[in-house]
Structure 1
Amino acid sequence: MSKVKLRLDKTCLNCNHVVDQRYCPNCGQENTLSRKSFHHIFIHFFEDLTHYDNAFWRTIIYLFFKPAALTKAYMSGKRLSFLAPIRLYIFISFVTFLLISLFPDHPEEVVLEPTAIKEQVVIPTIDSLHIEEKSVDGLTKVGLLSQQNNDTIKKILKQTTSIIKIDSTPTTDSVIKKEVADFGYKSLTELDSIQKHGSAEVKVSDTEYWFLRKWLAVKQENTNEEIVEKFTNSFAYNLPKLLFMYMPVFALVLWLFHDKKKWFYFDSGIFTLHYFSFLLLLILTLFFIDKLLPLFGKSPAVEWIHFTLRTVGIFWMIYYFFPAHRRFYGEKFLVSLFKSSIIILINLIAITLILILFALYTYSNIH
C-alpha cells in the first residue's frame, strides 16, 4: 500500500496525544496530512479492495460460500477479520439497489411508422366498396348493398374501432396502445354519480369506491406506460427500507424458536443481518448474469450457460438457509429441518401480506 507523508507536527489531530511513530498510541489514527488529493483517495480505495488480506473480500467469500461461518466467526470474537454486520448489510444494500437502478428494464414496444399503421389496420368503409351499376326494369340504379351486408360492415367497423386505438399524431413515435382498464366506468363523474344516486345493486363498497376513484384519477393524468413506470420506481425506491424494517421481525421469529437461555435476540439479529446480506448479494449476482450473458449472443451454448447459472443461483438462494440455520444453532438435522421449514413458511406468509400492503401504499401515492 502506498505511504503518505507524515506530518511534521507530532500532536495527534484526533486526541492531541503525542505521536512518536506513524500511528497514535492513544487512539490509533495515522498522523498524516488530512487534506489529500482525489488521486490518493481513488488509489487508497482500490488498494483497500484488492489487498490480499483485506476484510472485505474475506467477508464476501465467507458470506457467499460458507453458510453461517461468518456469523459463527463474528460471535466467537473475530471482529476485526471481517466487516461488521450492519456495515456489511448497508454497503451491499446500497450497491445492489444503486446498480439495479442504473440498468432499468423497460418492456419493448412495437413502434410503427404512420404509413405502416395504415397498412396494418384496414377499416372498410362504404365509399371504398366497389359499387356496380345495374339496369333493372329499364331503370339505372346504383347497386346497393343488401341489408345483411350493410349490417356486417357496421359490425366489423364497431369491433375494429373498439379493439384498436390508433395514435393519429403524424410522428415516427406513433405506437399501437392498448386501452387502460376502466373497470366499466368512463370517468370520475360517472362513478361519483352512480355511487350517489344509483340503486343498491350498482353501488360499490367504500373500499372499492376508494380504489376505483383513485384508479380513474390516475388514469386521467397518466398513460398506461407512465402508471407502470411510476409504480415500479416507487416500489423499487422503498423496497430497501421495507427489507431493513422487516429484519427485526425475521430475527424475532428465529429467537422465538430457540432456547432463550442459550440464545439471545442479539444472536439471531446478527444471523439475520448476514442472511439478508447474502440474499441481496445473490440477487445482484443474478441480475448481472441476466444483463451480461446476452451480450455474448443467443447461441445454444450461451443460453445453456445462462439457464444453468440462474438455476444454480435460485437453488442456492432457497437451500442456503437450511445449512446456515443448522450450523449456527447446532441442532440435529431433523430438528433443524423442521424448525427451518416452519420459520420459512411463517416469514413467507408475513412477507406476502406486507408486500400486498406495501403495493397498496405505493399505489395510493401515485399521482
Structure 2
Amino acid sequence: MSSCKNCGTALQGHFCHECGQDTQSPIRNVFSLVSDYFGETGNFDGRFWRTMIPLVIRPGFISSEYVQDKRAGYVPPLRLYLFISIFALLLVNIFVDQLNLTKQVNGGDVTVQSDSAAVRAELENAGVTAPGEINFGDWLDAEEQEAVEKRLQLYTEEPRLAVKKFFSIAPQLMFIMLPLFALTLKLLYVRSGRYFMEHLVLALHTHAFLLLMISLILLLSLLETWWLAIWGNGFWLLLPEYATLVIWIWMPVYLFLAQRAFYQQSWVKTTIKYLIAGNIWMFLMMGLVLAAIIRSVLVD
C-alpha cells in the first residue's frame, strides 16, 4: 500500500484522509499549475504564513517540498506569485510618486549636476555610446528612434521617472521572465532529469521572493520619508537605510542558496551555473525593459 508523500499516512483513495493532499502529482502537467491557482483562489488561511516565512528565510525549501509532493501545507506556487505580484503592482501604483530619491546632508538637499557635454565627450573617447545615441538599426525608423532616444535621455536626467518606470513594469516583466528563466535552468541542469515544471516551480518561488523584496524596499523608502519628517536626521533615519541595504545583499545570496538547495550540486558547479543563469537573466531583463520603453514611446 502506498503512503502519502506529504505526511506518510497509508493511502486509501485519491486523497489522503489525514492531511487532505491529492495523491496525483502536478509536476508533469503544466496545466495543473494553472488549475491549482484557480481552484480555491484566495484561500490562504494558515498556509499563507507557513509559506511566506520560509519563502523569505529558507532559500529553495518550499520549491523542494513542492516537487517532492509535500505541498498540502503551502500556498501553490502560481497562486503565491500572482498574489505577491498584485500586491507589488498596487503598492507601486499607490506609492511610487512618494519615493524619497533625494538624500539630505546637514538638513539641506544635495543636488548632483553634471556637465553633459563633458560626460558625452568622455563617453565618445572611451568608445561608449551615450544613452541618447543608441542605434536600433532597421528596427525603428528615424522618427521612432529619435523619440526613443529622447525618452532614454529623459530617464537619464530624471532618475525619479526612471525608477517609477522600472517599478511600474517590474511585475509584468517578472511574469514574462518566468518561463524564460525556467528554460534557462532546464538547459543548465539538462542532465538532472528534472521536468520543466520543476524548474518553473523554482522560478515562481524565486521571482515571488524578488517581487516581495522590491515591495519591502518601496515600503522602507516611504518609511524613510515619514521618519525624516518626524525625527529629522539621526540614528532612527538610518534604520530604513540599513534594512534596505540588508535586503539588497540578501537577494543575490538568497538566489544562490536557493539554486544550491534545490539542485543539490556542489558549491563550485552551483557558483558557475548561478553566474551563467544570473547573466542570462540580466541580459533578458534589460532587453525586456528596453522593449517596454520602446513600446510605451511608440504607443504614446
Equivalent residue for 1:71, pick from 54, 63, 75? 63
Matched with 2:7 is none
- Runs of 4+ aligned residues of structure 1 deviating over 6 Å after TM superposition are 213-216, 227-235
Distance 1:300 1:229, change over 3 A: closer
Q: Is 1:99 the equivalent of 2:91?
A: yes
Matched with 2:201 is 270
Matched with 1:324 is 258
The number of equivalent residue pairs is 215
Q: Which amino acid aligns with 1:311?
A: L
Deviations 1:327-366 (A, max 9, x none): 1000011111111011101111121122111111111122
Q: Which moved more, 1:302-311 or 1:89-98?
A: 302-311
Q: Which amino acid aligns with 1:94?
A: I
CA contact (8 A) 1:235 1:359 kept: no
Deviations 1:71-107 (A, max 9, x none): 1111121221000000000000001111221113168
Distance 1:358 1:69, change over 3 A: same
Paired-residue identity, %? 24
Q: Which amino acid aligns with 2:200?
A: G
Alignment of 1:226-245 (within 5 A): 238-245=169-176
Q: Is 1:334 the equivalent of 2:273?
A: no
Structure 1, gaps ≥5 residues long: 1-47, 109-204, 219-223
Matched with 1:87 is 79
Matched with 1:120 is none
Task: State how far apart, in whole Å, the 2-side matches of 1:238 and 1:300 are.
Answer: 34
Q: Which amino acid aligns with 2:97?
A: D
Alignment of 1:279-358 (within 5 A): 279-296=210-227, 297-358=231-292
Matched with 2:4 is none
CA contact (8 A) 1:67 1:321 kept: yes
Task: State how far apart, in whole Å, the 2-side matches of 1:278 and 1:208 are.
Answer: 41
Larger of the two Rg values belongs to structure = 1
Task: State how far apart, in whole Å, the 2-side matches of 1:334 and 1:73 are.
Answer: 24
Higher relative contact order (CA 8 A, sep 6+): 2
Could you say which structure has the higher helix fraction? 2
Alignment of 1:149-164 (within 5 A): none
Distance 1:237 1:304, change over 3 A: closer
CA contact (8 A) 1:58 1:82 kept: yes
SS of the residue corresponding to residue 277 of structure 1 reads helix
Task: State how far apart, in whole Å, the 2-side matches of 1:340 and 1:228 are.
Answer: 30
Task: State how far apart, in whole Å, the 2-side matches of 1:302 and 1:258 are.
Answer: 46
Task: State how far apart, in whole Å, the 1-side matches of 2:99 and 2:213 are.
Answer: 24
Q: Give me the TM-score of the superposition, normalised by structure 1.
A: 0.52
How far 1:305 moved relative to its partner? 1.3
Deviations 1:98-133 (A, max 9, x none): 12211131689xxxxxxxxxxxxxxxxxxxxxxxxx
Structure 2, gaps ≥5 residues long: 1-42, 101-137
SS of the residue corresponding to residue 299 of structure 1 reads coil
Q: Give me the TM-score of the superposition, normalised by structure 2.
A: 0.63
Q: Is 1:211 the equivalent of 2:145?
A: yes
SS of the residue corresponding to residue 96 of structure 2 reads coil
Q: Is 1:255 the equivalent of 2:186?
A: yes
Alignment of 1:135-154 (within 5 A): none
Task: State how far apart, in whole Å, the 2-side matches of 1:91 and 1:342 are.
Answer: 29
Q: Which amino acid aligns with 1:341?
A: L
Task: State how far apart, in whole Å, the 2-side matches of 1:282 and 1:230 are.
Answer: 21
